Amino acid sequence: MAKIQLSLSRLLLIVLLIIPVILVIIYAVLVATDRFESGASVYITEEQGASSALDLSSLGFTTTSNSREIMVLKAFIDSQGMMMRLDKDLHLLDHFSSSGADIFSRLETGAPIEIAYEYYKKRIKTNFDDQAQLLEISVQTFDNEFSKKVLDRILAHSQDFIDQLNEQIKSSQLLFFQAEVKTSENELIEARNRLTEFQRENAIFSTDLATKTIGGTISGLEQQLAARQADLSSRLGVLDESSPTVKRIRAEIEALKDQINKENARLASDKGNSLSELDSKFREIELLIEYKTLRYKANLQAYEQAQLDTARRLRFLTIVAEPTVAESALYPDRIYMVITGSILAFVFYFLVTISIAIIREHS
């Protein structure tokens, strides 16, 4: 009986502990496929000064990091959409399911998109360093050069993503003001065309100038009228009413009075073509032009201010640490695998032997 128990204990030791540990060591040392990691660090800045071109290497301006935008970029890199972009660019999923990798390391060929995405998240990782405001990106593949290529494409797509954010900022901020400026500009042009049409229809450049001209004409006519009336009074002292000279002077006086009445009628009358009526319409058009001009200037100023505000809100992706090319495979961590596997095997072996010992005591 003791020999049977001893044999069973040895069998359990071999089967549950020694063989599993040996298998873990064989897999870790001889079977597990090397994975090479390429890493990079980036951060997003917000322009505080004058606008400048979006550039990955821009470093000469004062900026502040924006955590929200970094987290948005992190979600973009971690997304299924990024995986599909990388697969389209570099056939990433084909690489992950390569037959050259061991069965436990590679992605199953033809795996559903959900499983492929879970695998992607294990190989492409992002970590946000809240203290340094850095987004750290790491890529693990079965080839060191390919890891760098994947990371380069991730950075390129990230740059495009930031460009799209900037375009959205520009669109949301500027399109409204551009439309307002264009509308007010068209209204101003329409008002000026209305003034030009008014001047052409009424053969008048300015009602002020016309008023002064007519006023001067009336003043001159009244002076002539006064002179002719004085001349008539002096003539009547020596001539009678039937005299041709007196008749001529009276005719001239009547002509002057008639002309003065016509000029006064031009200034103000009940008809719509009087100068006072034209002046009212002229003033109305001038006020309209002045209003449209002020509105255009205000909209133009608001548009220029929006441009400045937009420039200050532009985001810039800056690479702090360039993508690296791994010289050696750091993954899988073979020592960790052996230690972890051994501990698990020992724990399982211990539980089984304890369970058998308890059963024997109660039997």
**Between residues 195 and 66, the one the model is more confident about:** 195
Nearest alpha-carbon partner for 154 in 133, 169, 140, 168:
140
First to last CA, the chain: 14
Q: Which regions of 100-239 does DSSP assign to beta strands (E)? A: 124-129, 134-141
**Burial track 283-295 (b if 16+ CB lie within 10 A, e otherwise):** eebeebbeebeeb
Average pLDDT, the chain: 78
% of the chain surpassing 70 pLDDT: 75
Q: What is the pLDDT of residues 306-335, one digit of tens each?
A: 777 666 667 778 888 888 888 887 777 788
Q: Tell me the average pLDDT across 55-77.
A: 65
Kindly state the tokens that stand for 333. Answer: 């961590």
Q: What is the pLDDT of residues 180-215, one digit of tens each?
A: 888 888 888 888 887 777 667 765 555 555 556 666
Amino acid at the residue 204: I
Q: Which tops the pLDDT comparison, 66 or 44?
A: 44
Q: Residue 151: its pLDDT value, please?
A: 95
Burial of 360 (0-12, 13-18, 19+ CB in 10 A): exposed
The more confidently predicted of residues 46 and 288 is: 288
Are 325 and 145 a contacting pair, CB within 8 Å? yes
Which of 175-179, 225-229, 233-237 tops mean pLDDT? Answer: 175-179
Tell me the β-bridge partners of 36. Answer: 141
- The per-residue pLDDT for range 153-180, each reduced to its tens digit, is 999 999 999 888 888 777 766 777 888 8
HSE-up (13 A, CA, CB side) for residue 147: 28
The answer to whether residue 106 scores a pLDDT higher than 50 is yes
- With 70 as the cut, is the pLDDT of residue 51 above it? no
